[in-house]
Amino acid sequence: MVTTSSVRFQGDGAMMNAFVAMPEGGGANPGLIVIHEMYGLNDNIRDIATRFADEGYAAMAPNLYSRVGGAARFCMTQLFKAFIKLKMDQRAVRDLRGAVAHLQSMNGVNWDRVGVVGFCMGGGFSLLLACASNQVKTSVVFYGRNPSPIDSVAGLNCPLLFMYGEDDKMIAKGVPKLRSALESHGKSFETQSYRGAGHSFMNDTRGGFRPDAADDAWKRTVAFLDATLKDRN
């Protein structure tokens, strides 16, 4: 059984909202920050966080739009403007570092085993956070944009799994450049592509959902997290 709750945490000069899903049972679980797409903290992201809790992870999904009242108050034009601002704003990374600190402080969380998973906009932030914080022990990126400048990956502090669809015109063309930068800086990473899949292939509430790719990507993600976060002693 998974328990869920809403929490508030200290971001960069503001209190932020988040959804938390905790596994059943005692003991300290590895923690996982789950970062939403540009559509905000919605039922799709809550469902994904709950699925991670079913796999034994204390999952926390912060709402990066907390300062503006959440995505529900925005029309798509405003959402896109907020997305662009967040993408360029290091304040969001500082907010996410606050989320990591809050998750580490929670009962039932192993503070030294915290990873991050992000989708679309959140995928880009998953990589940026892993480059900015040595508290993040593993990072999974679903079709996230490359950091700018690309050599920001020199700061990557942990193993990385990057997954994308081959038909994703926004992301696929940047993957060779990302691989080259990661290799040149000696980083530990894996990439996985899916033929016939485009952007947001993991999101089962949108038209781009591809069940076969999503199923394989989920299994790879859980295996990667288990290998990098769970105590195998």
pLDDT cut 70: percent of the chain above it: 90
Alpha carbons 80 and 78: distance in angstroms, whole number: 5
Q: Report the chain's mean pLDDT, rounded to a whole number.
A: 92
Name the active-site residue from 102, 120, 131, 158: 120
Alpha carbons 215 and 26: distance in angstroms, whole number: 29
Q: 31-72, pLDDT tens digit by residue?
A: 999 999 988 899 999 999 999 999 999 999 999 988 876 655
What mean pLDDT do residues 198-221 have? 97
pLDDT at 90 over 60: yes
| Closest among 137, 130, 190 to 154, alpha carbons compared | 130
pLDDT at 8 over 80: yes
Report the b/e string of 201-213 with b at 16+ CB within 10 A: bbbeeeebbbeeb
Structural contact between residues 2 and 24, judged by C-beta atoms closer than 8 angstroms: yes
Instruction: Quote the pTM value.
Output: 0.94
pLDDT at 189: 98
Q: 113-157, pLDDT tens digit by residue?
A: 999 999 999 999 999 999 999 999 999 999 999 998 999 999 999
| Structural domains present in the chain | 3-229 (3.40.50.1820)
- Hey, which residues does 22 pair with through a beta bridge? 3
pLDDT classification of 233: cutoffs 50, 70, 90? very low
pLDDT at 181: 98
pLDDT at 54: 97
pLDDT at 89 over 80: no
Q: Which two tokens stand for residue 44?
A: 């799709």
Q: 157-187, pLDDT tens digit by residue?
A: 999 999 999 999 999 999 999 999 999 999 9
pLDDT classification of 14: cutoffs 50, 70, 90? very high
pLDDT at 83: 62
pLDDT at 74 over 90: no
Active site residue 95: no
Active site residue 185: no
pLDDT at 79 over 70: no
Name the active-site residue from 168, 204, 212, 226: 168
DSSP H or E run through 140? strand 136-142
Name the active-site residue from 95, 102, 158, 199: 199
